Structure 1
């Protein structure tokens, strides 16, 4: 067992003196040092905030010395090769008093590098051995170091060498599992436990009690465990729990926080059915693994995102859905799949395509779209020719087939196996990969075309379990999607108020689904009917000016690994004050949603990933609403074309206003408001007064909508508290029935409306 502990000069001086003056330590350059010289040198190192020294023990026996230092504050400072995230390292293995065991030095060296890389902020280890020290240089190279060049430093000519985290992990053979390290999992556990405590308290599933005399300290009993933590409670009962503050004891003994343990302890009050508890625990474990992977691989400072492009921001998001505790389930993905297809991996992939027999396939097209134009654009030039040649080579007529985009995972894990009979009888034909590179988005199954950003998003069926649903696509349900999008888009584009707010819709302009399989010949519904389908959605890229930046609204809720918030950074980088920035944001987001509700009884599902913001000079200027087909509803008697009638819903009067109260206030704005308050940018009272002002200004500008405004009464004192985690906890396999979402809602009393006024 190898441990590395703080150096104690009073205890360790004699040992150090013997080591550094030994003839084998000639490159340590202290051969003639007296004990007082050694004490003076290491007292200086220990007092230096940029330098540290520690003692290494092997099986409890002092065996090596390790120094770490900031290269920027050393003799290497100013070298152009240095990068942020570098740490310098020296290691001295104790001169042996007996024949060492084989591989002893290699074992020590590995422990020292593990110690250096234990800090997730460290990206590279820098060493500068004497060029004459052939033995240590060979050890360095074997451990993953790359020798850059010779550099002069005091007392020697050094070989500047660096080891990236990736090179070290590759040398050890742990590259794929390096994120599953104790330090990273501990951070992930604390973050998720803090989130669970906050969101479960928000949904009134648990009721923490204040600790007497403890400022912002709370206690929660959970089975045999007791949790004490620091938290601040903002408007809408929004709990901000500090992860580092969480203290857990079990029968009075301190134990590390563990999210799965917390779920099991709280299971009786969470209401998870016994048979579904393992599924939820698996989604929690997957969420923890994803968080650790992101801590390890996606430590992107907020400062690097302020001016980043759309896809750079998308890949940098680390939280997932802000309200759901188990929000990165992705059950079905293996480790290789995660690293290939998770949006935070930021990797481009090529979609697979299958030809589906036209007689068994539904293709729906929006206004202005033809089949030939769709395929000519998506499968440009030689790709379409290659696909048609493949069909002709099998003796098949390309005119008898339609082309369906397929997620690479879906092809390997579902279509090639579960639909083998369909492939064998040539009702489906695998055509191979397309030519364009695509980037998975935070919604998992939707892809952005990075080869041709002006081309459409592609949304594919994906049979993995994620956040309460198997992410398939129903050919029957999607048949009306283009018509629904056409109606919504035409309604929005024809409205002067919405145009003035810069509010637009990204149309889902084509949908396709295969229905020739055995599962569609069954009498009852089945998730297997949602395995082979896709749709195309417009890209926002052609519709923005060169000086505008695109980002999904989810980015407003993003904090980096150091806790810095992107929305705060954008406000500080903008030319306006915080109140003006928030007012512009609410005009681009909230005001159009209020207008759609009042003017058309039209409600969207406007959470962070469904809305793309446009920024100019870091200030919101407008928004694109997307994911229309599945997540839009008309809640009144507004006339609709017959093919769009599906979106008309019957909702109780006290539920209709939740399209803003739950989906906007509770689902998005409570998080933005808390971030700004926590960062000292804008108080909660100021934020919610701006929300109220936005709604009142809309009402003043539209007296013709006064009756609708009174009916929805968005500024009422309180509204029903609709809870998301309760839905997932009730049924971890399918949270809601998409054909009757209102009936699926679960309420926990009412909440005071912070936009109603008199906010403390």
Structure 2
């Protein structure tokens, strides 16, 4: 593509200014939450505060914000004024420079952050140009709806995607909504390992995922090299990963015909918000496919950790065994689990033997086949990721507002249904089995019936299932392999997956949005959440000791800080382990404070 053919129509002055204004508003409110900046409250009227923060050079940031629960604020984007204003520096990057001037960020980290923020701003201009209205979105299919989302609500550099060029971005980013074909390679069985749940094997997976003519074509390609097809596994890969990592990192294996390019299959897939997960839109009953893509986005490289890829089917079997043998989860909650039922892993043989090698080089080649969401829905049900509930269209209408309107319920009734659909199964896995999902907006799939929350389906076990470090009887059945791979957490660490993963990372935004757009009290929202927890605890009194051990109603929690993670603690160092969420200070728990306030008022 020549430079004058580059798609640039969305890069207008108006789009850029709006994206920048929205980004600095997000940065201000999340940096206040994470205590990166501490602005001064100048005045307050009708619940709206006028704030001011001055950096060490004298630059002043003035803005209006509303106080929210969990020590948060909601910044009003069109109120932001920066003095002095520098025309050639975006407001959002001016704030980053100001924070660096406080001596808190290294030059290297600040420079890389500028790149991530600029990538994010470019993506935001694309989203503004092509986004649909909420009226249309409520009727959109699960896979298509993902392409309308705007990314992580908390991480400010949420579409950095370091490794993508602009051409890659326009081809492969989820908001581009372009179906892709997956490429396939043959990998010698000396290099690759295949793993699956008991009901499956390699041949069953390939017969489902590859049409017969493709299998014949691929076999003939191997035979043409005077090689035996039965000595190889067929494996899907992403074209970007092939070009940017596999050809060079596995050149020796390609030279020895231990790895052979086969071509593309006919099925079409849409990338989801994680970029590396793909939903088959031509044959929806086929597996969702998760592939490594060595780009840096949000906090980590989006590869596939080998040890977790190998163990994923066993994790699936463990989680499903709990579900299948627990009537509360299976019959009352009607929880769904999208099992990671088959996987393949290929280690790069040199990096595997390099002590302390950066983790990105240990996650280069693998695949996870996940059960299709469509096979778990009745004809009257439709699915959306929980993240969709905090989406606001370019006219300012929340997606959730349209769902509530079409449901015919009041906001309170709808929120009650939502909380009832989500919380009980998550609480039961934690309290009864000492096991947690990471129930953030992408991993939690909300099932709707007539626009009303009905139940949930959980996904992403390979990365995000964690267990208690306490000697619980229910965990004694875990194999040695599972225990060595799954992260075990102390009691507060385990509860953080619900407290931070669901409450802070999602409900915090949803409750604020409903108060702002639907005049539904944020306090009432959290009362409903708390009542659901209490209701569960009353239902299972025999777990009283565990309610105290995994206490979701305590006054404060350790504050996890996702922006600090990159900005101060990890930077862009290429460590041997994936970075974990940073901790800084404590956060007041609204589930405790609303009860205290109620008691005082009485």
The answer to whether the 8 Å contact 1:247/1:257 transfers is no
Match of 1:716 among 551, 554, 574: 554
Rounded Cα–Cα distance in structure 2 between residues aligned with 1:482 and 1:602: 16
Rounded Cα–Cα distance in structure 2 between residues aligned with 1:474 and 1:213: 49
Bigger CA radius of gyration: 1
1:341 maps to which residue? 172
Q: Superposition pairs for residues 327-338 of structure 1, below 5 Å? A: 327-338=158-169
The answer to whether the 8 Å contact 2:336/2:376 transfers is no
Rounded Cα–Cα distance in structure 2 between residues aligned with 1:270 and 1:698: 47
Rounded Cα–Cα distance in structure 2 between residues aligned with 1:726 and 1:197: 13
The one of the two structures with greater contact order (alpha-carbon pairs below 8 A, sep at least 6) is 2
1:602 maps to which residue? 435
2:143 maps to which residue? 311
Match of 1:528 among 348, 356, 361: 361
Q: Superposition pairs for residues 488-637 of structure 1, below 5 Å? A: 488-499=319-330, 500-515=332-347, 517-526=349-358, 527-635=360-468, 636-637=470-471
Q: Superposition pairs for residues 155-304 of structure 1, below 5 Å? A: 173=4, 176-212=7-43, 215-222=48-55, 223-250=57-84, 258-267=91-100, 271-296=104-129, 298-304=130-136
Query: 1:130-152 CA distances to partner (integer Å, 9 max, x unpaired)?
Result: xxxxxxxxxxxxxxxxxxxxxxx
The answer to whether the 8 Å contact 1:519/1:529 transfers is yes
Match of 1:464 among 272, 283, 295: 295
The answer to whether the 8 Å contact 1:493/1:504 transfers is no
Match of 1:421 among 237, 252, 256: 252
Q: Does 1:686 align with 2:500?
A: no
Alignment TM-score, normalising by the size of structure 2? 0.92
2:184 maps to which residue? 353
Tell me, what secondary structure is at the counterpart of 1:431?
Answer: strand
Rounded Cα–Cα distance in structure 2 between residues aligned with 1:280 and 1:644: 36
Match of 1:745 among 568, 582, 585: 582
1:663 maps to which residue? 501
Tell me, what secondary structure is at the counterpart of 1:216?
Answer: strand
Rounded Cα–Cα distance in structure 2 between residues aligned with 1:253 and 1:388: 62
Query: 1:39-67 CA distances to partner (integer Å, 9 max, x unpaired)?
Result: xxxxxxxxxxxxxxxxxxxxxxxxxxxxx
CA apart distance, 1:367: 2.3
Rounded Cα–Cα distance in structure 1 between residues aligned with 2:499 and 2:349: 42
Rounded Cα–Cα distance in structure 1 between residues aligned with 2:544 and 2:200: 39
Alignment TM-score, normalising by the size of structure 1? 0.74
The answer to whether the 8 Å contact 1:723/1:747 transfers is yes
Change (3 A) 1:271 1:759: farther
CA apart distance, 1:335: 1.6
**What is the aligned residue count?**
585
CA apart distance, 1:186: 0.6
CA apart distance, 1:665: 1.4
Query: 1:202-260 CA distances to partner (integer Å, 9 max, x unpaired)?
Result: 1111112122366422111134421111211211123221221111112x889975212
Stretch deviating more after TM superposition (626-635 or 173-182): 173-182
Q: Does 1:322 align with 2:166?
A: no
**Unmatched segments (≥5 aa) in structure 1:** 1-169
Rounded Cα–Cα distance in structure 1 between residues aligned with 2:438 and 2:78: 34
Tell me, what secondary structure is at the counterpart of 1:455?
Answer: coil
Rounded Cα–Cα distance in structure 1 between residues aligned with 2:534 and 2:103: 39
What CA RMSD, in Å, does the superposition of the two structures yield over aligned residues?
2.3
The answer to whether the 8 Å contact 1:478/1:511 transfers is yes
CA apart distance, 1:733: 3.5
CA apart distance, 1:490: 1.5
The answer to whether the 8 Å contact 1:489/1:504 transfers is no
Tell me, what secondary structure is at the counterpart of 1:510?
Answer: strand
